[in-house]
Amino acid sequence: MSQEYDYLFKVVLLGEPRVGKTSLIVRYLKNIFSSGEYAQTLGANFLIKRLNVITEADSHSDIAIPAEKRVLLQIWDLAGHMRTTQVKEHFYRGAAGCLLVYDVENQDSYDNLALWYGDVKKKMPNAKIAVLANKLDLCEGVQEVQKAHHDLQEIAKEFEAQFRFGTSAKTGENVEEAFTQMTRSLVQGSETRSS
CB atoms within 10 A of CB 68: 9
In whole angstroms, give the CA distance from residue 10 to residue 74: 5
- Signed CA dihedral, 166, 170, 172, 173: sign only: negative
The pLDDT of residue 81 is above 90: no
Contact yes or no for 98/140 (Cβ under 8 A): no
Mean pLDDT, the chain, as a whole number?
86
Percent of the chain exceeding pLDDT 70 equals 82
> Looking at residue 1, what is its pLDDT?
42
pTM: 0.87
pLDDT tens digit string along 6-16? 999 999 999 99
pLDDT tens digit string along 163-195? 999 999 999 999 999 999 999 999 998 877 665
CB atoms within 10 A of CB 58: 14
What residue segments make up the domains of the chain, in order of their start? 7-194
Q: Return the beta strands (E) in 43-186 as ranges.
A: 44-55, 67-78, 97-103, 128-134, 163-166
Contact yes or no for 142/48 (Cβ under 8 A): no
In whole angstroms, give the CA distance from residue 27 to residue 25: 5
Q: Which CATH number fits domain 7-194: 3.40.50.300, 3.30.43.10, 3.30.300.130, 3.40.190.10?
A: 3.40.50.300
The pLDDT of residue 116 is above 50: yes
